[in-house]
Structure 1
């Protein structure tokens, strides 16, 4: 998960609950730094996190016990090394600099960022969930451009069949292509239900 403070309420449910934070969020903070100029320390940090991602890529679909063994053997030493790297650079950079802010973020959530090697069931990031909800967020942002009632209605006309396709595991572009071709080819209006995504 990301650093959203609302998750802290979960900790009140009992001592067995621990928060596993998303390493992709931590990595993103470092990735953004070189975009504004030369940043060898940030690039080094991204490479170190990348090594953890490569370890995970090889074990992601394996059972929890196998993942745990691989993490203890390979990821745990890399995390110890990264912690030393992080502490060293945190002591040397300005706290308000982009690198200082990124390292402060990682230090703040360090325990949760490092929880995944101790349990084979925990994912190192929540990218799978983020990929799932990204279309919803993009759709919400796109809908902001519908600036009047007619625009909202038109947006709903376009978005509804696309989202219906997704709910029915149908490729929206293929469905739209086939549907428009059928209508142009003379498909009868009374049989419009035949063209619906669930059919």
Structure 2
């Protein structure tokens, strides 16, 4: 269902989800409620079924808003570099060094989230930050305010 509707605008995506996915999810919920009593309460299967039912509202929340994704894979992929680098960060010599690293990582991931190539974005910022003398000029360098055409202009 998600593959078929991925290119639709958010309002239509939500409508299609409610029409197509809601019945499937309703069947799943009914099946879980009926069958959880058929497995031992101390089994992993029972725990998984009960967890799914306990989280049902969160699991189905994406149906109402076409801007939401069915999966959190995008968020997990965005934080993966932090999880991989966590051990290296233990060796930040000072709190200031750790804060600087966190700032740079945050800026890079925010650039990615805004569709910017990180190296080109950082290069753009370094070229223009020295001439920024007002809050507005600095805010214009934030990832959500920079466009690719600006990056290509240099």
The normalised TM-score by structure 1 is 0.44
CA distance in 1, matches of 2:70, 2:84: 24
Is 1:110 equivalent to 2:56 in the alignment?
Answer: yes
CA distance in 2, matches of 1:61, 1:126: 18
CA distance in 2, matches of 1:60, 1:136: 28
| RMSD between aligned residues | 2.8
1:64 alignment partner in structure 2: 10
Q: Which residue, out of 143, 147, 150, partners 2:88?
A: 143
CA distance in 2, matches of 1:62, 1:95: 42
Larger RCO (CA within 8 A; separation ≥ 6): 1
DSSP 3-state at the match of 1:115:
helix
CA displacement 1:37-70 (0-9 Å, x = unmatched): xxxxxxxxxxxxxxxxxx1122234211110121
How has the CA–CA distance of structure 1 residues 95 and 58 changed in structure 2, closer, same or farther, with 3 Å as cutoff? same
CA distance in 2, matches of 1:135, 1:58: 31
1:75 alignment partner in structure 2: 21
Structure 2 residue ranges without an equivalent (≥5):
109-116, 120-154
1:169 alignment partner in structure 2: 118
Aligned residue-pair number: 103
CA displacement 1:64-90 (0-9 Å, x = unmatched): 111012112210111111111211221
Structure 1 residue ranges without an equivalent (≥5):
1-54, 171-199
The normalised TM-score by structure 2 is 0.55
Q: Which residue, out of 70, 80, 83, partners 1:124?
A: 70
DSSP 3-state at the match of 1:94:
coil
Quote the offset at 1:135 in angstroms.
Answer: 1.1
CA distance in 1, matches of 2:7, 2:77: 17
1:89 alignment partner in structure 2: 35
